[in-house]
Structure 1
Amino acid sequence: MDTAKADVVLRSRYEARSTQPLDLTIADVREQIVPAAAGLEIDWDGTWARVGDQPANPFTRLASFFTTREVPVATAVDEAALDRTFTEIRVHDIPTVEGTIRFDGTRPVGVPPVQGRVLDGAGARDTLLNGWVTAQTLDLPVMPAPLTVRPEAVDETLRAVAQPAVSAPIRFTGRDGDAELTPAQTATVLTFVPDGSGGLAPVFDVPALTGLLAPQLAKSEVEPKDASFAVGGGSARVVPGIVGEKVNWPKTLEQLAALAVASGAGRSGQAVYEKVEPKLTTQAAEALRIVEPVGAFTTSGFSGPSGVNIRTVAQKVNGAVVKPGDTFSLNEYTGPRGAAEGYVESGIIDHGRPSTAVGGGISQFATTLYNAAYFAGMEDAGHTEHSYYISRYPAAREATVFDGAIDLQFRNNTENGIYIEALAGGSDITVRLWGTKTVNVESVTGERTKPTEPTTVTLPEGKDCIASSGAPGFTISDTRIIRDARSGQEISRHTRTVKYDPVPVVKCEKKDEDKEGE
Structure 2
Amino acid sequence: MSEGRVPRGTTVGGVAIGGMTEEQAEQRLRIDLGDEVREPVIVNAGNMSSTIQPSQSGLQVDWGATVDQAGRQPLNPIERVRSLFEEREVGIISAVADGPFNRAMDRLSRDLTRDPKNAALAVNDLGKPDVTDDEPGQTIEAEELREKVLSEWLSTNHTVTGEAEVTEAKITTEDTDELIRDVINPAASAPITFFGRDEVKGEIKPTDMGRILTFVPDVPENKKPELAESLKPSWNNEAAQQVLQEQLGSTEKEFRNASFSQSGGSLSVIPHQDGVQIKWDETLGDISDKALNTDKRNWQVVYEDKPATFTTDDAEKASFDEVMGEFTTGDFSGPSGVNIARTAEMVNAAYVLPGETFSLNGYTGPRGTAQGFVESGIIIDGRASEAVGGGISQFATTLYNASYFAGMDDVAHTPHSYYISRYPAGREATVYEGAIDLQFKNPFDVPVQIESFVSGDSVTVKIKGKKQVEVESIPGGRTNPTQPEKRTVDKDDHCSPSSGAPGFTTTDTRVIRDLNGQELSRETHTTVYDPQPIVTCE
Q: TM-score range by the shorter chain?
A: 0.3 to 0.5
Whichever of the two has the greater Rg, that structure is 2
Alignment TM-score, normalising by the size of structure 1: 0.48
